[in-house]
Amino acid sequence: MASVEEQDRYFVPEPSRWPMVGAVALFCIGLGAAFAVNGLLMGKLSLGLGFLILVFMLVGWFGDVIRENRLGVYLGREDMSFRWGMGWFIFSEVMFFGAFFGALFWVRTVSVPVLGSLDYKMLYPDFNASWPLSTGPGITETYQAMEAWGLPALNTLILLSSGATVTWAHWGLLQGRRGQLKWGLLLTVVLGCTFLGLQMHEYGHAFTHLHLTLASGAYGMTFFMLTGFHGMHVLLGSIILFVVWLRSLKGDFDATHHFAFEAASWYWHFVDVVWLLLFIFVYWL
């Protein structure tokens, strides 16, 4: 246990190369995206290189932080900085999804009723102000909306179960039960990967049988943007939890020093809450 005097100190690391490496990665990704949308081969190469550099940066930078933590240089103030940083990161993600949910709300409660009003009846005589929007000839291929009960409901059960398993792992950590910690984390990762596999199957069904794509009007756009970005967050959360699981196998974390585990569990519970909102407002209502 660090003394009060030690807790007042703040560890200042040596100058790091990782921010510059990250800047190079983002430059390659941005340049590649600009070239790729114009159909240039260089775009795909630049995108691939950028993502490889980004992964290299993340592994190196987080590896440095883990090594510094194992050396015992982090005391009270660093832990508080990490907590504030993770809190603000999750807040930024809340704002990110809030923008997409706001777009969905605006389309359903403002745009669709206005376009179906008498003022627009002469311009769009065949427009039906209902949700999901029906498609007319010459606009997009006729599609079917995604049903809530079935695979989406099963995925909801899987993700809620993963929230329970990560909480079970946390209890094991606090009580010194290493086996419970390891099994709880492993089950959470398996459930997260199962969720992603079923979502990929759901997308395949939507493309081939329901003819639902990003081009399927406002419904298709909002559906794939919200569920797709959530799936990306599930993938990221699964990777984070997998790394935490590997660290737990090496003996890292105890009842008083385990912020990396806490940060991963905060993020995972955030992913769970977002999916509940998605299931209610995108699939069900």
Tens of pLDDT along 143-180?
A: 777 888 889 999 999 999 999 999 999 999 999 899 99
Cis, bond preceding 132 (omega within 30 deg of 0): yes
Q: Residue 42: inside a domain, yes or no?
A: yes
As a whole number of angstroms, the distance between CA 154 and CA 158 comes to: 6
Amino acid code (one letter) for 234: V
- Looking at residue 224, what is its pLDDT? 92
Rg (C-alpha) for the chain, rounded Å, is 23
Q: Residues 48, 109: one domain?
A: no
Helical residues (DSSP H) of the chain, grouped into ranges: 4-7, 18-36, 41-70, 76-106, 112-115, 151-174, 178-208, 217-249, 259-278
Whether 198 is in a domain gets the answer: yes
Domain closes at, from 73, 99, 124: 73
Query: Considering the domain boundaries, does residue 113 fall inside one?
Result: yes
Tell me, yes or no, whether 24 and 145 share the same domain: no
Are 152 and 271 part of one and the same domain? yes
Domain that holds residue 67: 14-73
Measured CA to CA, the distance from residue 179 to residue 185 in angstroms comes to: 10
pTM of the entire structure?
A: 0.84
Half-sphere exposure of 23 (CA within 13 A, CB side): 5
pLDDT value at 138 more than 50: no
Alpha-carbon distance 118 to 125, whole Å? Answer: 9
pLDDT digits (tens, 9 = 90+) for 70-125: 777 777 677 788 889 999 999 999 999 999 999 999 988 888 888 777 777 777 77
Which residues, other chains included, contact 186 with Cβ-Cβ below 8 Å and sequence gap of 6+?
A: 245
Our count of domains for the chain comes to: 2
Each residue of 184-207: pLDDT tens digit? 999 999 999 999 999 999 999 988
**CATH assignment at residue 65:** 1.10.287
Q: Give the domain CATH number at 234.
A: 1.20.120.80
Residues 23 and 97 grouped into a single domain: no
Closest Cα to residue 152, out of 163, 160, 144? 160
